[in-house]
Amino acid sequence: MSATTNQAAPRAAATVLDVERVRRDFPILRETVHGKPLVYLDNAASAQKPQAVIDAERAVYERYYSNIHRGVHSLSMRATDAYEAARAAVRRFVGAAHTREIVFTRGTTESINLVASSYGRGHVGKGDEVLITGLEHHSNIVPWQMLCEEKGARLRVAPLDDRGDVLLEDMERLIGPRTKIAAFAHVSNALGTVNPVKRMVEMAHARGVPVLIDGAQAAPHLEVDVRELDCDFYAFSSHKLYGPSGVGVLYGKASHLQAMPPYQGGGDMILSVTFEKTTYNELPYKFEAGTPNIAGVIGLGAAIDWVEGIGRGAIAAYEGGLLEYGTRRLLEVPGVRLIGTAREKAGVLSFVLEGVHPHDIGTVLDYEGIAVRTGHHCAQPVMERYRVPATARASLAVYNTREEIDALVGALHKVREVFL
Partner 1 sequence: MISELRELYQETILDHSRKPRNFGELPTANRRAEGYNPLCGDRATVALDLEGDLIKDIRFKGAGCSIFTSSASMMTESVKGKTRPEAGALFERFHDLITSDPSQAKHRAVPELGKLAVFAGVSEFPVRVKCAALAWHTLKAALLGDPTPVSTEVSESSSGDGGGHAL
Nearer to partner 1 (CB atom), residue 374 or residue 400: 374
How far is the C-alpha of 372 from the C-alpha of 414, rounded, in Å? Answer: 15
The four Cα atoms 219, 224, 230, 234 give a dihedral, to 10 degrees, of 20
Give least dist CB 376 to partner 1, A: 5
Nearer to partner 1 (CB atom), residue 324 or residue 360: 360
How far is the C-alpha of 182 from the C-alpha of 168, rounded, in Å? Answer: 13
Q: Identify the active-site residue in 166, 378, 383, 415.
A: 378
Nearer to partner 1 (CB atom), residue 268 or residue 360: 360
Nearer to partner 1 (CB atom), residue 123 or residue 357: 357
Pick from 23, 47, 15: nearest CA to 243: 47
Give least dist CB 419 to partner 1, A: 7
Our answer to whether residue 378 is catalytic in this structure is yes
Nearer to partner 1 (CB atom), residue 322 or residue 412: 412
Give least dist CB 78 to partner 1, A: 41
Within 8 A by CB and 6+ apart from 100, the residues are 254, 257, 282, 283, 284
Nearer to partner 1 (CB atom), residue 304 or residue 415: 415
List contacts with partner 1 (CB under 8 A).
Answer: 34, 356-360, 363-364, 367, 374-376, 380, 383, 389-390, 414, 418-419
Nearer to partner 1 (CB atom), residue 257 or residue 356: 356
SS (H, E, C) the chain: CECCCCCCHHHHCCCCCCHHHHHHCCHHHHCEECCEECEECECCCCCCCCHHHHHHHHHHHHHHCCCCCCCCCHHHHHHHHHHHHHHHHHHHHHCCCCHHHEEEECCHHHHHHHHHHHHHHHHCCCCCEEEEECCCCHHHCHHHHHHHHHHCCEEEEECECCCCCECHHHHHHHCCCCEEEEEEECECCCCCEECCHHHHHHHHHHCCCCEEEECCCCCCCCCCCHHHHCCCEEEEECHHHCCCCCCEEEEECHHHHHHCCCCCCCCCCEEEECCCCEEECCCCHHHCCCCCCHHHHHHHHHHHHHHHHHCHHHHHHHHHHHHHHHHHHHHCCCCEEECCCCCEECCEEEEEECCECHHHHHHHHHHCCEECEEECCCCHHHHHHCCCCCEEEEECCCCCCHHHHHHHHHHHHHHHHHHC
Give least dist CB 239 to partner 1, A: 21
Give least dist CB 315 to partner 1, A: 32
* Residue 73: half-sphere exposure toward Cβ, Cα within 13 Å: 7
Give least dist CB 35 to partner 1, A: 9
Nearer to partner 1 (CB atom), residue 299 or residue 358: 358
Give least dist CB 34 to partner 1, A: 7
Q: Active-site positions?
A: 378
